[in-house]
Chains A and B, each alone.
Chain A
Amino acid sequence: MKWRFLEEKIFRAVMIIATSLTALILILIIGTVVVKGFKALKLEMIFRLPQGGYYFGREGGILNSIIGSLQLAGGATILAFFFSLPIVFYLNYFSKSKSIWPTLIRFSLDVLWGVPSIVYGAFGFLLMTWFGWTASLLLGIITLALLEIPIMSRAMDEVLKLVPPDLLEASFSLGATKFETAWKVVIRQALPGILTAILIAFGRAIGDAASVLLTAGYTDNITTSLFQPVASLPLAIFFQLGTPYPEVQQRAYAAAIILTLIILLISYLSRRITRRYAKHLVF
């Protein structure tokens, strides 16, 4: 057999092995969580606060953590967006072509992307001790936003690079400024990618335990102020798994199922929205 055909076969095999291994591991993880948590998964988990005198809750639900996680990740995503958008506009449209800054900024963002989240948590904790704050929703949001900014902005950066230059010229030739072009044309064209970037960042934030551990605290109640501690699903899972009681551990897995479902729901919704806007795109 000719080498070219052998090459093709080998490459095929490698692709199939890699893909199926990944799929298998994913199935194993989700399978474990579902099997272990399924029994504890009751509707009241979603609708009630922890009950039963335990801080981690042997009974009742994890409504505090669900709402807390949405508050934390939602707030952080909004905050991160208001930083990431100007960053990527600068990188792509407003920086001087010979300037060294865009390269430097992209490099720093890439480095920050790889920094473990516990380091962000420690940084938030430092802020807290310097200023004499206590663990709170606000501090958790700020820390998570720091975690999200590199992810969101680099993902959006890659998307903006794909916007055709002719489209920009079309807008400029009508007398639009760079800002108008970026705001009214680029955003529309890049919207699906921007939404994906936001979603990736949100997913990273809502699943992260280490950065909220030291900064957001924990509570059995629903948080109504930016300055109170807030519960979160990853910490609920972390704490409950750490107890010696099997029935509490089971509830941790149930919480993990809920966290996974939330992420699924959000990616589904964002895909729906994206499709609504994608019809306007030009190529």
Chain B
Amino acid sequence: MSLIIGRPHISLKNLNVYYGHLQVLKNITLDIPDRQITVIIGPSGCGKTTLLKTLNRLLDSVEGVRVEGRVLVDGEDIYSPGVEVTRIRKKMGLLSQRPQVLPMSIYDNVAYGPRIHGLKNKQQLDQIVERYLRIAGLWDEVKDRLSEPASRLSLGQQQRLCLARGLAVEPEIILGDEPTSALDPQSSQNVEKCLLSLKSQYTVLLVTHILRQARRIADYIVFLYLGEIVEHGPAQEVLNNPRDPRTKAYLSGEIS
């Protein structure tokens, strides 16, 4: 097993997740390195989305879910009673499989997070909106139409808007659930570029089923199979010299 350089940002300890009687995540123990891009790969239905939703507690609102084990973020167990869910979620920006813009203008989408967290000052909001739209590489395309409905943007633009919106609450962690799967190649590339530029400041955790994407951007790879972690380690190691036969099979396209 390889060592993680520096302290882990997120630690999972013996995590089990059940939907009713169905156990979806099995005894997951994993350290996610700080300020690197960790990519989770694995076949469809193996529990990748569930794992992400466990991290920001979006799973709370699903009926009949049970979570066992510990999830430590910055050393704090986010499932211990008394923890404020909104504060945990504020630490993480989520990019979903399909971009989901809010039913309001482009500007209001980005300002939504800061506003609910109490920022009212118009000038500061303007600055935040511009800063994060720039980071998401969208500013030049939308600067003249900030008051237009966000739903008029193209899908690729919407996904970058979602990124800007997530960054605007100033999270430490970015969770991406196959964020490029609904996008065309050019938009995917844009989103990938954004994520790469962000890793100096954020811990990025990305789910993908595109192996080439994993090769392009991953520092650290986790291979999830049927709810279990089969193998994890630095990207080069796992991708080039997988130890487990199941990882080998997945990487060579025999299981998908």
Contact = CB atoms under 8 A, between A and B. Distances in A.
Q: Do A and B bind each other?
A: yes
Interface of A: 97, 164, 166-177, 180, 184-185, 188-189, 279-283
A188 B86 contact: no
Given A97-B63, A184-B112, A280-B105, A174 B90 contact: yes
B93 interface: yes
B162 A185 contact: no
Nearest to A170: B100
B61 A280 contact: no
B104 A173 contact: no
Contacts of B46: none
B100 A167 contact: yes
A20 to B, nearest CB: 38
26 contacts: A164-B100, A166-B100, A167-B100, A167-B103, A168-B61, A169-B100, A170-B94, A170-B96, A170-B101, A170-B162, A172-B89, A173-B92, A174-B169, A180-B116, A184-B116, A185-B102, A188-B102, A188-B103, A188-B104, A279-B152, A280-B105, A280-B150, A280-B151, A281-B149, A282-B102, A282-B150
A167, A171, A174, A180: residue with the most chain B Cβ atoms closer than 10 Å: A174
A280 B152 CA distance: 8
Given A166-B96, A169-B58, A170-B162, A176 B116 contact: yes
Contacts of A185: 102-103
Contact of A173 (B63, B89, B101, B105): B89
Contacts of B103: 167, 185, 188-189, 280-282
Given A169-B58, A185-B103, 4 more contacts: A166-B96, A173-B93, A175-B86, A185-B102
Contact of B90 (A170, A175, A189): A175
B113 A174 contact: yes
A168 B113 CA distance: 13
Contacts of A180: 116
Contacts of A174: 89-90, 93, 112-113, 116, 165-166, 169
B98 interface: yes
B11 interface: no
A97 B63 CA distance: 7
A241 B57 CA distance: 64
Interface residues of B, number: 32
Nearest to A185: B102
Nearest to B87: A175
The 7 closest A-B pairs by CB, nearest first: A175-B90, A173-B94, A170-B100, A174-B113, A175-B86, A175-B89, A189-B103
Contacts of B116: 174-177, 180, 184
Interface of B: 56, 58, 61, 63-64, 86-87, 89-90, 92-94, 96, 98, 100-105, 112-113, 116-117, 149-152, 162, 165-166, 169
B113 A175 contact: yes
Q: Is the interface of A mostly helix, strand, loop or mixed?
A: helix
Contacts of A189: 103
A173 B54 CA distance: 12
A175 B98 contact: no
Contacts of B61: 168-169, 172
B227 to A, nearest CB: 22
A188 B108 CA distance: 12
Contacts of B63: 97
A227 to B, nearest CB: 41
A282 B153 CA distance: 11
B149 A175 contact: no
A156 B217 CA distance: 46
Contacts of B100: 164, 166-167, 169-170, 282
Contacts of B64: 97
A175 B162 contact: no
A169 B98 CA distance: 12
Contacts of B105: 280
B104 A280 contact: yes
Nearest to A191: B103
A185 B109 CA distance: 10
B255 to A, nearest CB: 28
A172 B59 CA distance: 11
A170 B103 CA distance: 11
B86 A177 contact: yes
A172 B94 CA distance: 10
Contacts of B89: 172-175
B113 A281 contact: no
A130 B90 CA distance: 54
Given A97-B63, A174-B166, A175-B116, A166 B90 contact: no
Contacts of B56: 173
A171 B64 CA distance: 22
B58 A175 contact: no
A176 B61 CA distance: 13
Contacts of A280: 103-105, 149-151
A137 to B, nearest CB: 37
